[in-house]
Structure 1
Amino acid sequence: MQGSNTQRKLTIQDIARLAGVSKATVSRVLNHRPSVNPSLRERVLRTIHEYGFIPNATATGLASGHTRLLGVLAPPLTWPAIPEIMRGVAEYIEGSPYEIVLYSISFERNHSDVLDRILSMSMVSGLLAILPGGLGRYLYQRFHLGLPLVVIDDQKVPAQVPRVGIDNVNSAYTATRYLLELGHRRIAHIQGPLHYLCSQERYQGYCRALEEAGITPDPNLLLQGSFEVESGQRCAETLFSRPRNAWPTAIFSANDQMAYGVMDVAERLGVRIPEDVSLVGFDDNMLSSHLRPPLTTVHQPFSDMGFKAVELLLNMLDSQHSKQQEECSIHLQLPTQLCIRKSSGPPYYLLS
């Protein structure tokens, strides 16, 4: 019998038949459930050992209604923050019995059909969503129907789901106030896409710092970007095409990518950073400290975000969803840090 059965890959159903128990009992043994009768457990384990059965983790989870897989829903991996977030996720997962399944999405199409198939098959026990965007409302509905879910840095107004992020308003306020303390008064802001909550909040922090200093935000110093390098280039070309006395003495970019675009144009036009114009970004991407000059920027703890988010998700999985509902307003805000480097300094008229 053993020889004939080892010609093909054994299933949980085969082990159940050979051990003379139900498939559910085999599943409970494989998932280390304490409710199994000790004699039945011993019989199942003896059969598994005798036939060299290697359980498929996904199939075992599907049979038991609880897998050891966590889904991670993320924008394309070319986004600068995603590798750092995933590093934090992987660091936490290494010390747990779980594995991750990564679903990379673009915002150009609706992926709810794919998620429907994944969730209807119970392939994952919980979901970590990074910048879910248009899928947010769909995911929040599924959360309230029982899906364990944690969100990182949503683009919309936060719903009542567990989430991890930063205080964008205060972080942008700190960056702008730093420029004001250097003596700058004409501070331009390159804003991110208006439909992103973080863009709105960073603009709010910029305005608050100016108003506290008695400066009315100048609409001529507000430029609209898209969080891409090319949009930073366009905004810089607009600013530097104006008469010299109409230039800002400092630029606060809502992300590092757009700040890179400003640096490209400044180098091409012979605009010196920081002697002619100081520049501050937001994110502290891995490249930012290696530029010439190194970029002053707000450091986001992306790796810590991933670590804390998956920690929160696994804590949810250890509790009943009714408890999740009680804790659905959890909002972890991790601290940021202004990294002062050589792209910023006092305005030129204070140096002369």
Structure 2
Amino acid sequence: MPKKVTLKDVAAAAGLSPASVSMILNRRSINRFNDETVRQVFALAESMGYQNGKKQSYSLIAPADTLIFIICPSVFNPFYTTIIQGIEIAARRQGFVTSVRTTYWDTTTEKEIMEQARRLHVAGVIFAMIPQQPQLAYELSRRLPVVAIGDRRGDLELATVDMNNFTAGQLVGKHLLDLGHRRIAYLSTTLNEQHTSRVRRCEGLQAACQDCEGAQLSVFAKEITPDFELSHVDVEYATGYELALSCLAQKPETTALVAVNDMVAYGVYNAVCDKGLRIPQDISLCGFDNIFPSRLRGISLTSVDNSLTDCGQSAFQLLQEEIAGYHSQGKFTSITHVEYKCRLVARASSGPAPRG
């Protein structure tokens, strides 16, 4: 009867310690080792027929070992593409590949993608937003590692990389109030419980205004259906443009506009200029996410930065920890939260409130 290949046998053949080989095969802290060492260990484990206690063989090309689904609403907004690139920076260093799946905020599509991930036995799933169907995401997490990026929610039993959007709203509110603004408007795409980041930003603004005597916050929102979002590439820009015109017509005393994100803010910017008003002399403008175009001189948008690339890399690291935990314990047990502090980046689009 042939001798069973042990972890020590693979370690001896690789010239490494058993602990190092275990970390590599379980993809735990694998970034400590160079790519050639990682490839060598996996190749030896496969060629020698090494199996762990669950009769699992090791191969660098097995889809379940390397394929990660990234679920996001769309890839038009640089907010999501920046997060995706952060995930891929970390994933490719560890030998993983990614597949981006878009939902356009359609719950049926989200459900289908999760079911596909389960059928394909992918290595894991990362949501670039908070899942719209938390219970389905939780059920999936009992079979596969699942990580989400966004506001922490009490009904979300998942590992998350948290963005504190309430604090982000407070930062923008305080910034504008300190500049003397007392008539502020918040402009947003669909505003409901399925879009917690949008709601929390609004709540942060409201909290800041409530702490300042005489300050008033008006809210303008437009309902966007998944079909409409799918068929209109510029939906966020167009929504910002439309809501800005509505606000200026209904609330002409407004001196500061806050867009739910930078993409919406670009539409607001053009609407204000097309009405013959100046930014920031007549109207101040702020956004959220601090995506790349906001720093261009022609835009120079005041925005809130959430370290998007770092969030993406942290999401993959959490996923990797869950994969390693499953290999060692046969189940997913820990729910880890990582939170990044947001910071306000003040630029030329916001200035003192106009007199009178």
Question: Shorter-chain TM-score: what band?
Answer: 0.7 to 0.9
* Larger mean Cα displacement after TM superposition, 83-92 or 98-107: 98-107
Amino acid of the residue matched to residue 327 of structure 1? S
Once the 2 structures are TM-superposed, how far is the Cα of residue 108 of structure 1 from its aligned partner?
Answer: 3.4
Partner residue of 2:334? 327
Deviations 1:26-69 (A, max 9, x none): xx98xx9979xxxxx9898499xxxxxxx9844x45xxxx5222
Partner residue of 2:287? 281
* Larger mean Cα displacement after TM superposition, 253-262 or 98-107: 98-107
**2:85 aligned counterpart, secondary structure:** helix
Q: Return closer, same or farther for 1:192/1:205 CA change in 2, 3 Å cut-off.
A: farther
Aligned equivalent of 2:324, options 318, 342, 346: 318
Q: Does 1:203 align with 2:210?
A: no
Amino acid of the residue matched to residue 68 of structure 1? T
Give the RMSD, CA atoms, in angstroms.
3.4
Once the 2 structures are TM-superposed, how far is the Cα of residue 96 of structure 1 from its aligned partner?
Answer: 1.1
Once the 2 structures are TM-superposed, how far is the Cα of residue 155 of structure 1 from its aligned partner?
Answer: 9.8
Once the 2 structures are TM-superposed, how far is the Cα of residue 137 of structure 1 from its aligned partner?
Answer: 2.7
Partner residue of 2:120? 121
Once the 2 structures are TM-superposed, how far is the Cα of residue 72 of structure 1 from its aligned partner?
Answer: 1.9
**1:332 aligned counterpart, secondary structure:** strand
Is the 8 Å Cα contact of residues 71 and 100 (structure 2) preserved in structure 1? Answer: yes
Amino acid of the residue matched to residue 209 of structure 2? L
Partner residue of 2:100? 102
Q: Return closer, same or farther for 1:97/1:177 CA change in 2, 3 Å cut-off.
A: same
Aligned equivalent of 2:160, options 163, 167, 173: 163
Q: Return closer, same or farther for 1:199/1:46 CA change in 2, 3 Å cut-off.
A: closer
Amino acid of the residue matched to residue 340 of structure 2? L
Partner residue of 1:308? 314
Once the 2 structures are TM-superposed, how far is the Cα of residue 236 of structure 1 from its aligned partner?
Answer: 1.3
**2:185 aligned counterpart, secondary structure:** strand
Q: Return closer, same or farther for 1:290/1:42 CA change in 2, 3 Å cut-off.
A: closer
Deviations 1:234-258 (A, max 9, x none): 1211222258xx4211112221122
Q: Return closer, same or farther for 1:105/1:172 CA change in 2, 3 Å cut-off.
A: same
Q: Return closer, same or farther for 1:278/1:316 CA change in 2, 3 Å cut-off.
A: same
Amino acid of the residue matched to residue 317 of structure 1? I
Question: How many residues get paired?
Answer: 302
In 2, the alpha carbon distance for the partners of 1:197 and 1:155 equals 9
- Relative to the length of structure 2, the TM-score reads 0.74
Query: 1:216-295 maps to which residues of 2 (within 5 A)?
Result: 217-218=216-217, 221-225=218-222, 228-242=236-250, 246-290=252-296, 292-295=298-301
Once the 2 structures are TM-superposed, how far is the Cα of residue 334 of structure 1 from its aligned partner?
Answer: 0.7
Structure 1: where are the runs of 5+ without partners? 1-19, 36-40, 48-54
Deviations 1:307-341 (A, max 9, x none): 0000111011111386975422x222211111111
Once the 2 structures are TM-superposed, how far is the Cα of residue 109 of structure 1 from its aligned partner?
Answer: 5.9
Once the 2 structures are TM-superposed, how far is the Cα of residue 158 of structure 1 from its aligned partner?
Answer: 4.8
**2:292 aligned counterpart, secondary structure:** coil
Partner residue of 1:85? 83
Partner residue of 1:7? none
Aligned equivalent of 1:184, options 177, 181, 195: 181
Aligned equivalent of 1:298, options 279, 287, 304: 304
Q: Return closer, same or farther for 1:268/1:125 CA change in 2, 3 Å cut-off.
A: same
In 2, the alpha carbon distance for the partners of 1:266 and 1:288 equals 17
Once the 2 structures are TM-superposed, how far is the Cα of residue 263 of structure 1 from its aligned partner?
Answer: 1.0
Q: Return closer, same or farther for 1:293/1:43 CA change in 2, 3 Å cut-off.
A: closer
Is the 8 Å Cα contact of residues 71 and 102 (structure 1) preserved in structure 2? Answer: yes
Q: Return closer, same or farther for 1:146/1:294 CA change in 2, 3 Å cut-off.
A: same
Partner residue of 2:229? none
Partner residue of 1:142? 140
Once the 2 structures are TM-superposed, how far is the Cα of residue 106 of structure 1 from its aligned partner?
Answer: 3.2
